[in-house]
Structure formats: structure tokens, C-alpha cells
Amino acid sequence: MSSSTYSLEERHQALGLTDEEYARILDRLGRAPNDVELAMLSLMWSEHCGYKHSRRLLRRLPTEGRHLLMGPGENAGAVDVGGGLAVAFKVESHNHPSAVEPFQGAATGVGGILRDVFAVGARPIAVLDSLRFGEPGNSERSRYLLDRAVAGIGHYGNSVGVPTVGGEIYFEPSYEQNCLVNAMCLGLAPRDRLIRSAAAGPGNVVVLLGALTGRDGIGGASVLASAELGEGDEAKRPSVQIGDPFTEKKLLECCLELLDRELLVSLQDLGAAGLTSAASEMASKGDVGLTIDLCQIPLREPDMEPFEIMVSESQERMLCVARPECVGALLDVCERWEVLATTIGCVTAGDSLHVLHRGNVVAEVPVSVLIDDCPLYDLQPEPPSSDLYGRAAAVLIGGESPAETLLALLRSPNLASRRPVFAQYDPVVQSRTVRRPDEADAAVLILPDGSAIAVAIDGNGRRVAVDPRRGAAEAVYECAANLACVGAEPLGLTNCLNFGNPEKPHVAWQLVMAVEGLAEACEALGVPVVGGNVSLYNEAPTGPIFPTPVVGMVGKLPDAGAAGRLGFAREGDAIALVGRFEPSRVGSELEKLQGGAPVGELPTVQTTSVRDAHETVRNGVRSRALQNAHDVSEGGLAVALAECCIAGDVGASVRLPEGVDPFAEAPGRAFVVSGAPEALADYQVIGRVGGDALVIEGLLELAVSELRTARDSGLAEWV
């Protein structure tokens, strides 16, 4: 990136800055930036770091709650779970790197979200992932991305020793060129050990912890996530970071001991934009300046240029601030954990980030210019004039009978068993897991006092493509419904907003409407947003992805032993429906199988009814009156009943309420439950548990073994 490569007029454009943005930089600095400064500014003013098309919009989300301890703006949010403990959690994307190099892209996505959690002082105790790919049956590329991304997630999580306890995976043609890899992590910490990232105390020492700094990842996440991917993206492969989970494990343990011994003033992960982002954000939050000496930074390649050192996204690194008298003890702890630790600078008074190299000042930029002066853009939303996505290829579903339709749905990639995927992950390491994948609608992790936390992650891009506002709200309701099924009350929510190019009016409209839907649903349920991530420009020459807001939610239940299960449990139990059930085939899985386009109108959600249904199920599970609980979502009521039979290895005989379409969907507001007949006397009873077949009166009869065979076969040949 020397000035000989680009003319002065071209160099800012080569780094993704517009002419107007460059003029703004000239005005703020009062001079032209040098190459190092321009590299730093181009990344901090990128979409990925600056959130310039979404920051104003995100102010709409509710961020206050009675359990909230740490909200947006920190590495991760945190909520109080009682007993002096906090749960920190966050979800982030690694979409663009994973589309270029799926194994390392997905693996380093897991590594990055782990660091976000232990950066606030919490020990990571679980990972969940939310994945989207093109159709595996039609695309060799999608099968490759699926295989390698899943392998990368398993490699990193298993190696570090953090269980992958849940997640979701969907396949749609719109994700063919832009796969989505969203990773969520949650961690446990004593309330009084939570630490913030703000640098403080002029004269305090800045210390770099962890791996060597190399050229891998230069411009990676920040550049790849700030523009559309097009032809020739193989050339971007070197921009994807390379992960080392064993180095991360040592770094994790080292940081937690440093916090236990109260040796740190602040702690920050080095993620996108590397040292530039970490240093400037720490300084901004603390209203201080920093001086960094690049010659003190241990390098993997000794001939690295100053700009390369400042923007490298090499993994497994943290930046911390310590008091001078604590540095010796800090270095001793790091040596014992075999973690490289180097003093690289100091905290200063004022508002300037000074960067030194070989005794020369190679960058001197006000922190406010790097952080606060990033331009924020007003979106220009306009609803699309026509269907954006067209019809999918119709799938032969074997005939017109309801039984054949149900089997086709169970075999479909979006509804088939995820066992071939999660079998590659360790769900029980650390011995906290009470409910594994496929055992319940949400993962459940026991706490030391016998209570538990529950966590789920949800999203449905197809339904959001139909109606961004209602579809996004449904994601919140469904996530909360999954928690209700195990008896948990929501405490907080994190989100990852995956959309196309926000500079296009129809994508801007999708984003605005989706955020409004998320806000309305969070307000209706009283659940605060503790933080999250925005991933834009998920778009290829063929068009944008489905708008895909992904929601992760954490809840609390008083007794881990009473956590609900998915499967029917006892012969003779009554089966009932809970909730206002007015489903629609618009945006449904059956519509997709039949080749339908994601157009139409989703049903209106009655928020009072949703809250009441969630409370009814939650209380029934906690009291053990309900032997199982499962929300009715993809595939409708027929699929929900089949899944309960498969999970419990027992049949059921039911009679559907008059007028109910068995394959229509209404996520987040209806449940299938079972329990002793006397315990369900006040419920809408529709049948009984028993036998070896699912019998829906007047509609179908299928053996549980046949249902299981169909569901188990759907992904087996692709994973």
C-alpha cells in the first residue's frame, strides 16, 4: 500500500473510502493522512467497524432491563442470573470470510466470539451456531461450504473445550454465494469480576497478549464484510484469518487468572481491524489517548510494514491495560501459561493515538476522528416493486396424500435431523449440559446452586423475506417460545442482522422494517437487547440473501431437574395445544417444497396471547405438570407432532381442531404439550400418547419408525 502503488487521488478509493469520506478526513485532520493513518481510518470507517449504515437504526432497540448488568458497547452483554453470578453472551457473524475459506472462516468466527466473552471476564461455557447455505442437493459449492464450515466449528470448539450445545441450519438458494456463519457464545462469571474495555489512568501500561502478529487476516473481516463479494473472490483467500485453538485456550485461562488476581484495569479482544480497532476503542471509551510502539510487537514475519502491523487481524490476541506496579506479576502469570506478553505502550492524557516505529511517529490521529467522526448515513428505504427472489425449483414430494407430504417435509434439508452436523461437536464437555441437541427446544446448562440457564438461537430468512417486520418479530417470539419449552424465563437477547447491500433502497427497507419488528417484539416480551452484530453487503451479482435477523436469547429456570423435553414421555398422557393457533402456509416449508416464492402476508401476532401462551407452558414445565413441550414452527402442527413422537420413541393419536391446516406455520405462538389427563383438564386436548404410530384422524397414519427414517435421511448424504 505504498504511495507508489496508488496516486494520492486513488489511494483512499482503493481502501474503500468514498471521495466525500476522504474529504471529511482531510477536514478533520487539517492535512492529508499518511499511508499508516489512511489504512487505520479506512478500516475504522468501514461498514464492519463503523456501522455507518445501521448505528442510528440500532438505537430503536430496547436496551434496558431489570436483569441487565452490561449492555451494548462492550465486548459482550451480561445479565444477572442470581447467586452472585452473571452470564455474558453475544452473537457475531463471520459470513464473508467463511464464503472465501469456510474452514478457517468458521473456526476463527468461533475463536472471535469466545474472546468477546472472556474479554468481559466470563468463562465461556457454551457455543451455538446459526448457519445458512445454498441447496446441498443442487450445488457442489454449497455441500463444500457446509462440510468445511461445520468441520471448522467443531475443530475450534472441541479443541478449546467449550461445548456446542445448539444451533440451527437452513438451506435456501439465496445463500448460494453468500453463506451465513453466525456464532454465539455465553460465559459465566462472578458478578464482581466483570470488566470493561475502557482504557484508564495516564501512565498505565498497555500490554499485548497472545499470538505473534503476522500478515494473515490483513483487511480480512473488516474489508470482506464491507463490500459485496463478486467474481474472483478466490483471490481474497489470504485475507481470511488462521486460527489456533490451543493458543486460544492458554490465552483464555491466562486472562481469567489475571482478572482473578485483579492485575488488569481493562481488557479488549483484537478482532476486525486488529490493533487499530482495539486501541482506538479502548481509548475512546476511557476518554484517554494511547501511545503504541510497533517495534515492541512480536512479529511472525520480521519485515512487516507499520500499516500491516496496525491492521493485522491475526487471531488469539488481546490488549490490556495494567498499572505499572502490576506489570511484573502480570508477566509472571503469562509466562506460567506460556502466553506471550509484551508491553507495547502506555495510556496518555488527551485524545490522540500515537504510533511509533523505530523512534519515528508513523501515525498521530485523534481518537475522536477514528471513532466519533465516522460518517453515519441515513438509509433510503423503499419497499421492492416486485418479488426479489422468484420461485424456487419445485421438489417432487411423492404425491398428494398428507402422509407423503409429511414424509417429504421430514426428509427436506431444512427439517431433517441435524444429528450428522452436531455429532461433530462435543455438547457435554465441562459437564454442565442438562439438555443436549434434539432433546429439547433449547439447550439447558446447570448452575452451581441447581438452577439452570437456557439458551436458544433462531431466525427464518424466508419468512422475513415475505414480511420483514412480522418475520423478524416472529424470530424473537420463537426464541422465547423455545425457552418456555424448557421452563425458562427470558433475561436478555443478542442479535445478528444479516442483510444485503443497505445502499439499495429495497434492502434498506428490509433492514428498517426488521429492526422495527425486533424492537416491537422485545418490548412486548420485556426482553432487553444486550448487544449484537450487523453483517451487511451479503449480496452477489445474482442478488441479495434473504434478510436474516438471527436472535439469540438467554433465560433462567429455577430447577435444572425440571427442564422440559421435546419428546412425548408416557403412554396414556393427554396431548394438548397451547396458544392462539391461526397458521398460514405463506413463507412455510411446504410452500418452498412446492416451489412457491416467499411472497404474501404473514398472520398478525397477538402479543397478549403470545405472552400468555409462553407463561402457561413455562409454568407447566416448571411444575412438572407437562411431560413435554414443543413449539409449532417449521412444517406446522403435523411436523411438530411427528418430532415429538420421534424424540420420545412413541406414537400418538390426535384429532386436529376444525379448520386447522396441518402444514401451515405460526412460529412462536403455539405449542404441543403432553401430561397426565387430569393435569391438562383446562388445556385444549387433541389426543393421547401411545402406540407405535402417529395417527392424525382422517388424515394420516405413519409408524414412528417410518417418521424417524425419513427425518434421519435428509442430511445424511450431504454431511
Q: Catalytic residue numbers?
A: 48, 94
548-557/489-498 β-pairing: antiparallel
Which is nearest to 196 in space by CA: 122, 250, 249? 122
Contacting residues for 32 by C-beta, under 8 A, at least 6 apart: 8, 26
The DSSP output letter for 192 is: G
Contacting residues for 400 by C-beta, under 8 A, at least 6 apart: none
Of the CA atoms within 13 Å of residue 428, those in its CB half-sphere come to 5
- Burial of residue 400 (CB within 10 Å: 0-12, 13-18, 19+) is exposed
Which is nearest to 536 in space by CA: 564, 504, 578, 583? 504
CA torsion through residues 337, 343, 347, 352, sign? negative
* R_g (Cα) of the chain, nearest Å: 26
The most distant pair of C-alpha atoms in the chain lies apart, rounded to whole Å, by 84
The answer to whether 183 touches 425, Cβ cutoff 8 Å, is: no
**Cα–Cα dist 98/222, whole Å:** 13
Contacting residues for 122 by C-beta, under 8 A, at least 6 apart: 76, 78, 86, 87, 88, 186, 187, 188, 189, 194
**Cα–Cα dist 130/460, whole Å:** 11
Looking at residue 229, its amino acid is: L
The answer to whether 95 touches 132, Cβ cutoff 8 Å, is: no
Nine cell digits for residue 623: 411444575
The answer to whether 429 touches 157, Cβ cutoff 8 Å, is: no
The DSSP output letter for 687 is: E
Buried b (16+ CB within 10 A) or exposed e, 623-645: eeebbbbbbbbbbbbbbbbbbbb
Q: How far is CA 25 from CA 19, 42, 110, 350, 353, in A?
A: 10, 10, 34, 20, 15
Which is nearest to 76 in space by CA: 529, 516, 476? 529
CB count within 10 Å of CB 448 equals 10
**Cα–Cα dist 264/320, whole Å:** 7
**Cα–Cα dist 670/575, whole Å:** 13
The answer to whether 478 touches 464, Cβ cutoff 8 Å, is: no
Number of H helices, E strands in the chain: 23, 28
The answer to whether 194 touches 218, Cβ cutoff 8 Å, is: no
**Cα–Cα dist 689/680, whole Å:** 13
H or E segment to which residue 533 belongs: strand 529-535
**Cα–Cα dist 630/673, whole Å:** 6
